[in-house]
Structure formats: C-alpha cells, structure tokens
Amino acid sequence: MKIGVYICHCGLNIANVINVDILHSKVEKLEDVAVVRDVQFMCSDAGQEYIIEDIGDNNLDRILVAACSPKLHEQTFRRVIEKAGINPYLLEMVNIREQCSWVHGNNPQMATQKAFDLIKMGLARLKHSNPLDIEKFRINTDVLVIGGGVTGIEASLNLADSGYNVHLIEQEPTIGGKMALINEVFPTNDCSICVLAPKMTEVHNHPNITLLTLSQITEITGNVGNFKIKGVKRPRYVLEDKCKGCVEDCSGVCPVEIPSKFDYGLGKKKAISIPIPQSVPQVAYINSDYCVGCGLCSLACPAEAIDYKQKEEEFIFNAGAIIVSTGYSLFDASRKEEYGYGIYPDVITNMELERLLNASGPTRGRVVVPSSGKVPERVAFIQCVGSRDESVDNPYCSRVCCMASMKNAQLLKERYPQIEIVIHYIDVRASGEMYEEYYTKTQSMGIDFIRGKASQVLMDKQGRPALRFEDTLESEIRQESYDMIVLATGMEAPENSRTITRMLNLSCRADRFYSIAHPKMRPVDSHIDGVFIAGCATGPKDIQSSIAQGCAAAAKVMKLLGSGELEADPLCAVVEKASCVGCGLCEDVCIFGKIRVIDSKAVVDEISCQGCGTCSAACPTDAIDMRHFTDEQIFAQIEAAVESRDEFPLIIGFLCNWCSYSCADLAGVSRIDYSTNIRIIRTMCAGRVDPEFVIKALEGGADGVLVAGCKLGECHYVHANYSAKKRLEALQNVLEETGIDPSRLRLLWISASECEKFAKTVDDFVDNLKNIGPVGHEILEAAD
C-alpha cells in the first residue's frame, strides 16, 4: 500500500496556526506513507497537478488531502485522482482548517498535535477503504403528476414541452383545482379563469400528456427510475370521445336537482352536468349517488354519448419520477361553532363569496344575502378561522387568507360602493410583491380594519348576525350587527393525501402537510429519491409560489431523468447473509422502506438505499454494514485517535454529515474557539452510530463520546435521529448499570447554524469530564 499525503497551507489560514514543517516531518514517518507534500493551495491547478504527477511517478494507490472541509473539495479531489487512474473512493480528506486551525488559533502547539492526530485517523480509515464502482442503469423517463390544480398543470406543461411523457392524475371530473373556482386573483385582480383556462386546454390537447380525471392511484411500487403505478378511473357514464359538451339537451331533461359541489352548495346542478363552464375535459358526467336511472338523458343526447354500463377501469404504467401536487382542503368552518356557520344562513366562507362574485357562479356574479336575496349593506370578514388556532389543532398561518379577504372586500366595494366593510384581523400578513401596496389600497377604499379576535356570532333582534369582538387598539369589547359575515377559512392537508403518504412512504410535519428534504435548500425534494412535492401539498402558499414550485419540480425531474440513466449510490448498506438471522429489526427502522426480509434474510434495495446506516447500527448480529463509512473504518479511526492521546480528557465526536458536521465547520468559519480535546469522526447520520462504537471508544481510552445529529424532526433522513436517540439513551442506561458514568456519553441535536451551541457543548463536556476523572478506573470496575 502506497499512500500520498498532501498538506495544504491554505495561504496562512492553516499555516499561521499549525506548524506545517513539524506536521510534515511527523507524517512522513508513518507506515505506508510513500509521499508527503505541503502545498500553498491544494485546490489550485498546481496543487492538483502535484497529485496527478505523484500518482504516476510513485505508483500511489491511495491519497489523503489534509486541508479544508470535505464538504468543499471532496468531489474536486475525487475527480483529480480518478483522472489519474485511482478509484475516487480511495481518497480521504482531513479537515485541518475549519475544525482545527480556525478554532484553535489560541493554542498552536495543540492545534498542530490535533492536526497530526486527525491525519493519523484519516490514514487509518483510508487503509480500510475499498474501491467502489458506480453502476449505471437505464430508466423510464415518463413522469407521474398527482393532482391537476395549477401546480400540477404548470409542472405537466413544463415537462411535456420539454419532450417528457406525463401522466396527470386528477380525482375530480375536471382539472383546474381551486384556482378555477376563484373569481379574481390578487394582487392584480385579473380574471382567474382567464389565465388558467388556456393552460387547462393546453394540458388536454398536449400530445405528451395523458390526462386521467375521476381517477385515483391505488398502488405505487418500485423506486426512482422505475416506479410502477396502479390506479382506477371511475366511470363518468358519458363517453369522452362522443360528448360534445353541449349539456343543455341531457341536463335540461334531467329531473334530479342536487347541490352544486363546485359552488359549495350555494347553487344547484342536475345529476348530469358539467362541473363548471370551463371544465377540462369539456365532458358531462353523471353523479351516480343521485342518478335515478330514468334514461331521459340518454334519449335526449344527440351524440349518443350516454353509457350507463361503464365500469371502473384499471390502469397500469411505469414512471421514472413522481410529482405530488395534491393541493389543500379548506377548513370546515362548522368546527368553529361559535361563528354559527351552518346555523345562520348569512354566515358564509370566503370561498363561497368567491362563487357569488364569479360571473359563472350560482348568482351570476350578484352578491346577495342568502336569507333575504338582497345586496348586503354591512359586511364583516373574520380572519384566521381554522388558522393560528390551537383549539382546532392548526397553530400555523395559512398565509393567503388576509390577502383573499382584502381582494374580495375590494371587489365588493367596487361593485357596491355603498357597502360598509370591516375586516376583523389578528395580524395582517401581506408580505410579497405588491402585497403591501394592496393592503394600503384596501384601506384607502374606505374598508375598515379592526384588530382583535372575533369571539362569537349571535343573532340580533332583527334576525341579522351580530358579531361580538375585541378591539385591541381601542381596548374595548363591542358587538355589531351585519347583513353578512364572511369567514376566512384556512388551509388544511387534504384527507386523500394520506393514501399517497402510505404508498410512497412520505413523511408529514406536525401540521399534516408533506415534509420536504430541506425547507430552504431543497424546497421541492421529498426524502424519497425520484419523488418531488410542490404547491400547497407542502403547506399553505399563494398561487404565484405554487406555480413557481411546479416549475421547480419539473426542472428537478428533467435534471434527474435527462440522460435516460441513473447512477446507483455506492454509499449503500450491504448484508452479510451468513450472519443475518432474519429478525426484521432493520426493516422496522428503515424509514425509506429500502430493506426487506425475504426468505429469512435481509435484502437491501441498493439502487435507492439512502445510505444513512440506521439499519447497520440497529442490527444485533452486525450482519449489515455500509460500503463506505464501514464499521472497520470507524473502529480504525477510534483506535488511531486514542493510541496517541496526549491530553486529558479525550473526546471522540461522531458528527452527522449534514447538520452537525456543517455546524462544526461554521464554528471554524466564525472563528469560535473551543477546546482542542475533541477528535471528530464524520458519519452520514447520527443513526449510523452503533453502540459498539461508543463502547470501543471508552474501552480504548477515550474519556467521553459526543454524538451530534440534526435537530429532532429535521433529520436529512426523516426520523433516523430519533432511532439514534432511542438507541443511545438506552446505552446510557446500560453504562450507568455497569458503573460507568452515563454523562460520558453526550447527545446533541443541532441545526447547521448553531455553531456557538456546538462550541459551548464541547467546552462544557470537557469541564464535566475533568470533574469526573479519567474513564480507566470505571472501565476496570465495570469489568470486575
């Protein structure tokens, strides 16, 4: 084995603290080190050329670069050694800048010693590294889009225009979602259907889009690049290829009148109808829940499009990627009994007002008081109905309700200038392009805003709804009567999304909307490879943001599927079948469902394994290991760290690749000084930390072990850090039972930005270990 070691000065960033000459002389004496160089800037072209030349001249078979964080240049140096003919996974990067020179500037001597220890740990790991091959496989480039609202429409059109075949699945008889029911959209107050309808028609006519309405997904199996989709299309009882969308003939003779679902019960429809005038497809459908089977529509239809014998049709297709755009449900206002919705007819919701304002709505755009049929003289809006409300388990803000109420108030005022309008709000949320101006315009039109919680709707002596409310700016409680009260209901995660959640093994937040991989850096990525989430499926948002996310999800899919093949991640779990007892614990802890027990042996789906390592740490027989970050590599790093300890106490730190390691890097960038006593080992996830690693460290001579992972609930691997927490807290109990102070194992759950907290934790841990003394005597006592 011939290893080349390259020490970067990074100008004076490293060399100003660490004595590179001493470090160089100590490293070149280490076993299997064939070449040692210290270079001003390793990432420069000259630095990279040194590596390539030395590989050729000295037949090096492994490379260690001691420089900055591997998060910056690990891929850079992997490409360099691959160009020189060495497998890219035979590289080790040792972080002597962010996690050494930049945080130990006050102690150059110990910083130099720590840098040497880190290099020794890196060499120990590198000696147990194996070349890994990246397998490529052909994939299906079709795309499934679930949900035909504005987000799904935008994503589908972007993909279809780029040449991808799209299967758009919508459970309603028409696409368009709730935007198709809205009268006008803020902040420009332009006609909603005018801008949406052309896109709806384009979806229907696009040669690359297969549109399935009245359809639901029943099963999704497979993984990224090859999902298998099964579903059912419910019968419309009208032949789509024959219906001309005229409706007058069939609907005109239908004797059954029912509440219009799309007008929220304010208008009536026949049992056979077109949902809205702009429906896509422009085809009638029969509501089988109300149809009496009289046959009159069939007799009246000149196109002979009625087919009462239609059955559910199953469909099956494959897709390489999935976009989930299932939208939202409106809060059921009757759950807030104090507002009288469903009891008092003149208490309506904002969406019902949208339909009254709409020219194609139940009153053809004329706004009337439901009980009297007259134009209202006084109207009150109540904000945050079902939002920012712990009593209905919706503590979050629905973001668009304030703007929606302002828009409808403006439209009412423009149409009926004599109307008095009051908006009762808790806080006005009007952050966005032109939104603040929109708020100001609303006030300038004479629309009043009263800050305070509206508490109850009663009925006054004249039979009008009376609102009891708090006016916090005037410090008084008042009661006013209105002709109409409009409830600004919030958004909730739709019930039908739970089925998709189970089929795709997606995770949800506490507010029941889908969780995304990272709220800032990966806003449309799910935790499942090949599955993207957009629009209100991930939480309340306005139309502009939903459209933007539809475009973003489409772009992500294009990037994923563009080449027609994918690379399997080599950093996956592997099973030693001889050691596997088929207990199924690995299957239970894998949140991604990528490991199954088949014929009493665990089998890993290596193509889509996420590489977190939680299954490996949980395996009671050590039958599962990782291709990279192996048990052997980690044990070697622990041994190297403890064998040359020269200060007390010594802490071995296991930091997850995503948040806690980045947090330690940020401490360096921020020049936050902390104790030199910690030796950090990077793992992909805190869930990878096997209790054996902790025991090995303590038995080997480390005085304490720090395991740091992402904040609970914010793990890159969904809930893997919860598994780590449960496992390691159990280990703390075991340590205590065996006479070892459980505080020698410390757990830390942090975000990447909490660098001061990380540094303070290390310093506090060092102080605590100094108080309880070396670990040696406790290990001996436990052994006795």
Residue 358 CB partners (closer than 8 Å, separation 6+): 181, 182, 183, 365
What's the rounded Cα separation, in Å, for the pair 379 and 386?
20
What's the rounded Cα separation, in Å, for the pair 383 and 228?
44
Q: Does 509 map to a domain?
A: no
CATH code, 582: 3.30.70.20
| Domain end (from 98, 132, 166) | 132
The reply to whether 643 and 767 lie within a common domain is yes
Q: Which of 404, 421, 393, 399 is nearest to 510 (CA)?
A: 393
| Domain end (from 105, 132, 159) | 132
What's the rounded Cα separation, in Å, for the pair 88 and 616?
24
The reply to whether 446 and 350 lie within a common domain is yes
The reply to whether 199 and 149 lie within a common domain is yes
> How much is the pLDDT for 529?
86
Q: Does 518 map to a domain?
A: no
Residue whose structure tokens are 């999304």: 497
Inter-residue contact 325 to 514 (CB < 8 Å): no
Q: What confidence tens digit (pLDDT) does each residue in 262-291 have?
A: 999 999 999 999 999 999 999 999 999 999
The reply to whether 431 and 304 lie within a common domain is no
**Secondary structure (DSSP) of 618-664:** H-TT--EEESSS-HHHHHHHHHHHHHT--SSS-EEEEEETTTHHHHH
Q: Does 497 map to a domain?
A: no
Residue whose structure tokens are 């050729």: 56
> How much is the pLDDT for 714?
80
The reply to whether 184 and 209 lie within a common domain is yes
**CA 473: distance to chain centroid?**
39
Residues of the chain with pLDDT below 70 are: 777, 780-784
Inter-residue contact 504 to 392 (CB < 8 Å): no
The range of the structural domain enclosing residue 774 comes to: 629-784
The reply to whether 475 and 580 lie within a common domain is no
The reply to whether 256 and 397 lie within a common domain is no
What's the rounded Cα separation, in Å, for the pair 286 and 493?
28
CATH code, 411: 3.50.50.60
Give the H/E segment covering residue 55: helix 45-58
The reply to whether 40 and 162 lie within a common domain is no
CATH code, 757: 3.40.50
Q: Does 197 map to a domain?
A: yes
Inter-residue contact 386 to 419 (CB < 8 Å): no
Give the H/E segment covering residue 586: helix 585-589
DSSP 8-state assignment for residue 161? H
| Domain end (from 132, 152, 170) | 132
Q: Does 3 map to a domain?
A: yes
Provide the CB-side half-sphere exposure for 67 (13 A, CA).
28
> How much is the pLDDT for 777?
65
The reply to whether 172 and 269 lie within a common domain is yes
**Please, is 232 exposed, middle or buried when counting C-beta atoms within 10 Å of its C-beta (0-12, 13-18, 19+)?**
middle
Q: Does 502 map to a domain?
A: no
Q: Does 388 map to a domain?
A: yes
Q: Does 555 map to a domain?
A: yes
Count of the separate structural domains present in the chain: 5
The reply to whether 546 and 635 lie within a common domain is no
> How much is the pLDDT for 135?
83
The reply to whether 657 and 585 lie within a common domain is no
> How much is the pLDDT for 248?
82
What's the rounded Cα separation, in Å, for the pair 679 and 700?
14
The reply to whether 318 and 384 lie within a common domain is no
DSSP β-bridge partners for residue 624: 575
